[in-house]
Structure 1
Amino acid sequence: MATQIFQLQLSGMSCAGCARSIERALQAVPGVTSVNVNFANEVAAVTSTNKTADGLVAAVQQAGFDAALIDHQSATPAADPRQRAQRQQWYKFVAAALLSTPLLYTMVGHFSFTAGIYVPAWLMNPWVQMALATPVQFIIGWQFYKGSYTALRAGAANMDVLVALGTSAAYFYSVYLALTEGAMAAHQGLYFETSAVLITLILLGKWFEARAKGQSSAAIKQLLQLQPKHALRQQADGSAKLAPIAELVVGDIIHIKPGQQIPADSLVIEGTTSVDEAMLTGESVPADKQPGDTLVAGSINKQGFVKAKVSKLGKDSALAQIIAIVEQAQNSKAPIQRLADKVSAIFVPVVLVIALMTFLVWLLWLAPGDYRSALEATVAVLVIACPCALGLATPTSIMAGSGRAAQMGILFKQSDVLEITHSVTTVVLDKTGTITAGTPTLTDLEIDLKGIQELTPEQLRAAVQALEVQSEHPLAQAIATGIEVDSSTAKMVQLTDFTAHTGRGVSAQVRLVHTDTDAEQPSTSHHLQIGNLRLMREHNIESDAWSARQQELEEQGKTAMLISWDKQLVGIVAVADTVREHAAEAIAALQQRGLKVVMLTGDNQLTAAAIAAQVGITEVRANVLPEHKAAAVAELQQQGDIVAMVGDGINDAPALATANVGIAMGTGTDVALETADIALMRADLRSLLHALEISEKTVGNIRQNLFWAFAYNTLGIPIAASGLLAPWLAGGAMALSSVSVVLNALRLQKLRLNS
């Protein structure tokens, strides 16, 4: 049964524990095959056989959270719930701060060095303090009680449980003192300010965290902003009228003026221009466009006026596919996150045990009978132990790193690929289209018809062109384009039984039509073959007479193919492919990083060696058929290498799938390469260096975040348990830890690469 991926925008989560609760709720929905909940951007990616997301949204709501389906193609996109939640959090903080500030002022009386500061007597009244603290505790802070109930009902414990327990302990203990001690309770030490200030600081931290998390998805927002809203659609009379993008259909003719965004993926049919595709490919130099060239939606027409025919719309467009790939990477889980998930799953229960032990140790041994000291230490432990930073450590870095990569024209399809790419030890490069430009040209065509009476050189040239026209191979297209044949000679050649011999060449039956004034006289059928030495040997065709010339051409870096007519060699044709401009530079940089670089090609050894020498590659595997490239990659893996395979994503599909990391080179429209793990939207090998460096920097950033998140809790809990950390300071430190982790991850958005 076919599956599809739904993306749900979530709200109401407070920590990684909430994400796990939502995952469990979604996994219980019939038809769901996989679920990934990203706490950092509050998005659930659900793979399901269901046709609608209604059951998924209902499951999330039943679990105590809110959800809405994300649909970038909607004509009227829904408001971002994260922005609404962010505003609500700010309003709550402001209200809590107004009520908590008078309570915070009463704390000056607790310290000897501030004893001289005047504090109004009415402000020390327990009932006044209770009146100020109660709205903060139960109205503004209700979200923590709600979150605690949701988590406990699901059989889990999250950050809200710790906050609710800590602040409730301080609040209700103060209520107890107010009821039993009356006006003297202030002298016993009330904790209304502790509970209120804690909630206020946590709300402030959550607001900062929400703002920072919103910035981590900046790449997606920028891509969405590229989607045009209107287009100039040509009418039946040739005039153009402004129309919404939603009303366009494939085949419509659109007019694109200088300075306008390209409204839809399309093909130029009239006019020339240059187009800025930097936001899609990372390439700062505008690309020249002429009739027949592809335009990508969201890019900017710089100069000329063009007319174009719409080719793709909606989810099929290049921009939509780029957005989908970036979201897929950001919403997936990296292997390194599993450690954080395992720790956070048991963290809160362990903290509750530690808090109970802290209370008992203080009450029974460190300060016998001193409930005040025991309560302060216990509340500090509960608050400082909130594992928010741990839950944010990995996903925020993944979001920022993959988003920065997308801005540079590098699309990581999964977060695990982003994590492992930097550990590659061997890079395997396909020759044609990767090291070379993939646009070969005809350089030589030599013919010798000695002993063949019925055939002229012009007829053979026409037959070679007619045969190669039927092949889709780049080398065949170069030959067909390079041969010039007059129309009268071309009419004399008729081809049947065309056959493509994969990795070897092509063949067909040829009839030469002779014309005179009376009638056309068809000749007998002849067998024409064009291919490499392997094809000739398979058909027992003697090739020694041409071997020296073939070797000479191949030593020049050309691909030479033999031509046989009825099993007799009658000529040789050669094409050459130019090395990409920055290929040698990029390969040298890869080698400087300590990577082994291998060239894999179906060309013969001499041609491959000539190209390899131009770019500085010493290990070459030639004469490798497409179906054998995967075996070559597997052989390197068996030697212990971690292999990245770079190819065109089509002929190299098996090898790309076999490699540890499959990388497809494209031009901005080839982003739907199913077998590749990474799509390089620029046909430039320097993008491969950038991918390696982004992976390295992102993993380093994740490790920094995890280290500080673990260190924060490891050091903070004992300090709080020892009584050296006031509860309100613990709340501030907890909020600061989450914000610092997110801000550290956001540094990746400004990443400047060395390569």
Structure 2
Amino acid sequence: MPSAARAPERDDLAMPTAGVCTLCGAPIPSGQAVEGSFCCAGCARVHEVLANLPPDAHAAYVAAARRLGLIATAQAAREQTVETDAAASPTHPEARRETRFRFGGLACPSCSWVAEQVLLACPGVEKATVDFFSGTGLVRYDMRRTAPDRLAETLKPLGYRLGELSETEGLRPSQGLTFSFVAAAILTMNLMSLSTLRYFERHGGLDAAPEEIKWLEFLLAAPVVWLAWLPIARRAWQGFRRGATTMDALIAIGSGAAFILSLAALSVGRDEIYFETFAGLVTISLLSRLIEARLRDKTFADLATLLRMPVSRVRKIEADGKIVYPGVDSVRPGDRIVFAAGDVVPFDGDAASGGATVSEAVLTGEPRPRQKAAGDAVIAGSSVVEGSLTLAVRRRFDETRLHHIAASLRQALAAGEERLRSADRVARWFTPLVLAIAFLAWAARVVVFGWAYAFSAEGWFPSIAVLAVACPCAFSLAGVSALTAATGALLKRGILVKDAVQLEELNRVGRVVFDKTGTLSEGRMSVERLVWRGPPQPALLPLVLAAEAGSGHPVAAALRQHLEAHAAVLPEGEIIDKPGEGRLLQMADRTFTVGSAGLFEEAFTPDGADERHTLVWFGENGRAAGCFVIADALRREAKEALGRLASDGLKLELISGDRQAACDWAARSLGVPQVRGGATLDDKVLRMAELKRAGETAAFVGDGTNDALAMSAATVSVALAKSTDEALAAAGFILLHGDLKALPDLFAAGRRLTHVIRWNYVWAFAFNTLFIPVAALGELLPVAAMALMLVSSTAVLLNANRLRRRLI
């Protein structure tokens, strides 16, 4: 909590009159006081913190808390302020906003309670929940009556900081390009308008254009150099340094030459000025880059979740037994950390005591939680399902396997941005050829007409026209426009495209590798069937529900969901928990048991049960009357989706961290010929690398953190909507509806996309083949070349729009 110079007056915390809470001043119903003078345990804890403040500290905190009504005064206990300015009418739904904020300055869990109460006291705030351990909170407020900056100012005197999570996510890739394109387009339009006067003068349509127009054109063209040409030239230079001649080289050299020669002509008083040609070429090229950047906007937004753990603080047990709340980054090996049910473990360590049930599915793919005994290893990313876990830390968060996975993903994703696009693959041979033709056209005129002709408009215009008519805009749009059309169409069909490069690779995929748990299966336990030992006894089913009431174990949740129709009347009794085994329901006249076979003297084995199943028996007096057969059920649409993929000629493979028996059963049920169970995270990555070395283009479909590195190693990667943050970050595509039937549609769209892109390239290549010789012979002005280039680009865009109509 923040410090201050002036000491608080101790009567700030004096006991109020009987029947009023010491902290908040609320009336206390008779006989319901907590610790003698508080309305609830929360007020008692916060009062304890305030009462133990040293006399020379935190005066500002106490004063601000009293002003906000968190510490009662005699006046506050007697009065209640009622807001009448806006409470008379209900909040309009369109004026209500719910935002998640980042909270700073929270020193202990009581701080989160104080922050909540302060926010709830603000006009217009309807709901406020602050989580100390994650350092985040959710606030619902009326935008007509308050705003985030007002909320932040309200919290500031208490030493708390509030900011929107989006403030740390950075700018979208297209934001800078959008500004550059709009500014360059406006300047280019003005340049073309001014150059029209000179053309009219040259062809007799105007007596004399003002001489100042040339310098005005230069002033308009100069910012275009900075906004549009320099980034293109920088990319071209980087390509030259790597030994690659990209499409950027054509526009950089052609437009740059037009600008430099025009500037030289202007400086010596000649009329051969073509600043508008320079500006038009680079502005159209910038438009192509802008379209491509828009495709990546969603990818950068999704990457904001990478490496963000669900907790930022933990409960640490000091040597004297005192509980403190350090940040995750300050925890060191040897520290003892306590995790409650529902918490995510951010460290590798060992269980200091037994009894907690932990799910490690995030890294292992095993859907069934396991009970941890003292000394058992616990890996980062695990979640505590039931009980309390005391962990002896072995590795800090930044040394854990989970952290290394996320860091590797960042590197893989960054490397993916550097992969050559289809336009640049064409450029490897096309660009040097065009440059050679442009140089030969200029050299031929020098040989024929001499060096005096070399730097005249007649000498260099044909070469500039060659570079202009061969401008990469049509080639770039050939792929980008089709990718944009496909991205929009797929989004309407529930498929989010995160990596446009992978769209181009879909047609080359010959094998699809699937994870099982959470991908082909539901990823949660469900009752497959109920087997009775003898005649059915449905009267026992409400007893099962009663015994499993309140349990957070996934098996208990599966039983409750299966038996929800029997929840009308539940018997009463005392529940006795048997950690790792089951539960007893102790009633007045009998004891009912639900759990593993070890709780029964006479259990039985249901027909058809195998290693993939979890068996839960129930009965009375040590004799099992029935057994629930529980498994991770396959998705209903999985068989149809995989059947369509196989009929399209794709090879199917299953690789999972689940048991081999469970994987074999899933493969048989779905018709997958190749299967491997018990696979580790490294096994999945090695398998994708093995396929790549064999020259096979493979796609990986997964949903967990343990799939993320394999997804990044695959040529194409697909995740379901409810995947982990790491899997979503690594995926090139996300099935937003979580429906595997969209998967065959995705690969079909990839085939159509490739067809359209190829025809776009054929058109662009044919166009260049026809008009480059015309330009080289001096029969095409740069302005006419630019107009023809626009015609070529328009044809490409129309063909891409045809793809969009076919996919929707």
**TM-score when normalising by structure 2:** 0.48
- Structure 1 residues 639 and 612: alpha-carbon distance in aligned structure 2, compared to 1, 3 A threshold: farther
Q: Distance in 2 between matches of 1:459 and 1:581?
A: 27
- Structure 1 residues 331 and 83: alpha-carbon distance in aligned structure 2, compared to 1, 3 A threshold: farther
Residues matched between the structures, number: 510
Counterpart for residue 504 of structure 2: 419
Deviation of 1:550 after TM superposition, in Å, equals: 1.8
Bigger mean CA deviation after superposition, 406-415 or 81-90? 81-90
- 1:550-565 correspondence runs (5 A): 550-551=607-608, 561=615, 563=617
Q: Distance in 2 between matches of 1:135 and 1:209?
A: 25
- 1:187-586 correspondence runs (5 A): 192=272, 195-196=273-274, 199-200=275-276, 203=279, 333=417, 335-337=419-421, 340=424, 343=427, 347=431, 355-365=438-448, 373-390=458-475, 394=479, 397-429=482-514, 433-435=518-520, 440-441=526-527, 443-447=529-533, 462=544, 466=548, 469=551, 471-472=553-554, 477-482=557-562, 491=574, 493-496=576-579, 498=580, 507=581, 529=596, 546=605, 549-551=606-608, 561=615, 563=617, 572-575=627-630, 580=635, 582-586=637-641
Structure 2 segments unaligned to the other structure (5+ residues)? 1-164, 238-248, 302-408
% of aligned pairs identical? 21
- Tell me, yes or no, if the aligned pair for 1:400 and 1:745 is still in contact at 8 Å: yes
Q: Distance in 2 between matches of 1:488 and 1:164?
A: 85
- Structure 1 residues 635 and 493: alpha-carbon distance in aligned structure 2, compared to 1, 3 A threshold: farther
Counterpart for residue 165 of structure 1: 257
Q: Distance in 2 between matches of 1:77 and 1:334?
A: 20
Which of residues 655, 669, 681 in structure 1 aligns to 2:736?
681
- Structure 1 residues 568 and 651: alpha-carbon distance in aligned structure 2, compared to 1, 3 A threshold: farther
Q: Distance in 1 between matches of 2:597 and 2:573?
A: 18
- Tell me, yes or no, if the aligned pair for 1:435 and 1:579 is still in contact at 8 Å: yes
- Tell me, yes or no, if the aligned pair for 2:295 and 2:500 is still in contact at 8 Å: no
Q: Map Cα deviations across residues 574-604 of structure 1 (whole Å, 9 max, x no partner).
A: 2477765544443332122111334567588
One-letter amino acid of the structure 2 residue matched with residue 138 of structure 1: F
- Tell me, yes or no, if the aligned pair for 1:351 and 1:385 is still in contact at 8 Å: yes
Q: Distance in 1 between matches of 2:503 and 2:469?
A: 32
Q: Map Cα deviations across residues 484-539 of structure 1 (whole Å, 9 max, x no partner).
A: 6986675264313x2xxxxxxxx46x7786878xxx9x99xx996369xxxx9xxx
Say which SS state the counterpart of residue 142 (structure 1) adopts.
helix
- Structure 1 residues 210 and 172: alpha-carbon distance in aligned structure 2, compared to 1, 3 A threshold: closer
Q: Distance in 2 between matches of 1:148 and 1:530?
A: 75
Deviation of 1:640 after TM superposition, in Å, equals: 6.5
Q: Distance in 2 between matches of 1:697 and 1:595?
A: 16
Counterpart for residue 10 of structure 2: none
Q: Distance in 1 between matches of 2:674 and 2:474?
A: 48
Deviation of 1:673 after TM superposition, in Å, equals: 3.5
Deviation of 1:444 after TM superposition, in Å, equals: 0.9
Q: Distance in 2 between matches of 1:577 and 1:359?
A: 72
Say which SS state the counterpart of residue 685 (structure 1) adopts.
coil
Say which SS state the counterpart of residue 550 (structure 1) adopts.
coil
One-letter amino acid of the structure 2 residue matched with residue 529 of structure 1: S
Q: Distance in 1 between matches of 2:679 and 2:229?
A: 61
Counterpart for residue 720 of structure 2: 665
- Tell me, yes or no, if the aligned pair for 1:705 and 1:741 is still in contact at 8 Å: yes
Which of residues 684, 708, 717 in structure 2 aligns to 1:630?
684
Q: Distance in 1 between matches of 2:741 and 2:660?
A: 27
Counterpart for residue 187 of structure 2: 92
Say which SS state the counterpart of residue 360 (structure 1) adopts.
helix
Q: Distance in 2 between matches of 1:446 and 1:665?
A: 37
Q: Distance in 2 between matches of 1:563 and 1:702?
A: 60
- Tell me, yes or no, if the aligned pair for 2:281 and 2:468 is still in contact at 8 Å: no
- Structure 1 residues 131 and 530: alpha-carbon distance in aligned structure 2, compared to 1, 3 A threshold: farther
Deviation of 1:682 after TM superposition, in Å, equals: 0.8
Which of residues 646, 651, 655 in structure 1 aligns to 2:701?
646
- Structure 1 residues 96 and 567: alpha-carbon distance in aligned structure 2, compared to 1, 3 A threshold: same
**TM-score when normalising by structure 1:** 0.51
Deviation of 1:692 after TM superposition, in Å, equals: 1.9
Q: Distance in 2 between matches of 1:430 and 1:685?
A: 13
Q: Distance in 1 between matches of 2:675 and 2:543?
A: 33
Counterpart for residue 806 of structure 2: 752
- Tell me, yes or no, if the aligned pair for 1:409 and 1:680 is still in contact at 8 Å: yes
Structure 1 segments unaligned to the other structure (5+ residues)? 1-70, 109-118, 180-190, 226-324, 450-456, 499-506
- Structure 1 residues 687 and 148: alpha-carbon distance in aligned structure 2, compared to 1, 3 A threshold: closer
- Structure 1 residues 732 and 353: alpha-carbon distance in aligned structure 2, compared to 1, 3 A threshold: same
One-letter amino acid of the structure 1 residue matched with residue 255 of structure 2: V
Q: Distance in 1 between matches of 2:434 and 2:733?
A: 41
- Tell me, yes or no, if the aligned pair for 2:259 and 2:278 is still in contact at 8 Å: no
- Structure 1 residues 746 and 206: alpha-carbon distance in aligned structure 2, compared to 1, 3 A threshold: farther
Q: Distance in 2 between matches of 1:578 and 1:511?
A: 27
Which of residues 219, 222, 241 in structure 2 aligns to 1:139?
219
Deviation of 1:361 after TM superposition, in Å, equals: 1.6
- Tell me, yes or no, if the aligned pair for 1:648 and 1:665 is still in contact at 8 Å: yes
One-letter amino acid of the structure 2 residue matched with residue 477 of structure 1: A
One-letter amino acid of the structure 2 residue matched with residue 574 of structure 1: V
One-letter amino acid of the structure 2 residue matched with residue 358 of structure 1: A
- Tell me, yes or no, if the aligned pair for 2:573 and 2:586 is still in contact at 8 Å: no
Q: Map Cα deviations across residues 462-499 of structure 1 (whole Å, 9 max, x no partner).
A: 59965994533xx6532354456986675264313x2x
Q: Distance in 1 between matches of 2:792 and 2:530?
A: 68
CA RMSD of aligned residues (A): 6.1
Q: Distance in 2 between matches of 1:604 and 1:75?
A: 42
- Structure 1 residues 618 and 730: alpha-carbon distance in aligned structure 2, compared to 1, 3 A threshold: closer
Counterpart for residue 52 of structure 1: none
Counterpart for residue 242 of structure 1: none
Q: Distance in 2 between matches of 1:155 and 1:634?
A: 33
One-letter amino acid of the structure 2 residue matched with residue 92 of structure 1: L
- Structure 1 residues 458 and 651: alpha-carbon distance in aligned structure 2, compared to 1, 3 A threshold: farther
- Tell me, yes or no, if the aligned pair for 2:718 and 2:732 is still in contact at 8 Å: yes
- Tell me, yes or no, if the aligned pair for 1:494 and 1:511 is still in contact at 8 Å: yes
Q: Distance in 2 between matches of 1:206 and 1:444?
A: 70
- Structure 1 residues 692 and 404: alpha-carbon distance in aligned structure 2, compared to 1, 3 A threshold: same
Say which SS state the counterpart of residue 254 (structure 2) adopts.
helix
Say which SS state the counterpart of residue 443 (structure 1) adopts.
strand
Higher relative contact order (CA 8 A, sep 6+): 1
One-letter amino acid of the structure 2 residue matched with residue 420 of structure 1: E
Q: Distance in 1 between matches of 2:235 and 2:177?
A: 24
Say which SS state the counterpart of residue 684 (structure 1) adopts.
coil
Say which SS state the counterpart of residue 779 (structure 2) adopts.
coil
Deviation of 1:729 after TM superposition, in Å, equals: 2.0
- Structure 1 residues 620 and 170: alpha-carbon distance in aligned structure 2, compared to 1, 3 A threshold: closer
- Tell me, yes or no, if the aligned pair for 1:467 and 1:495 is still in contact at 8 Å: no
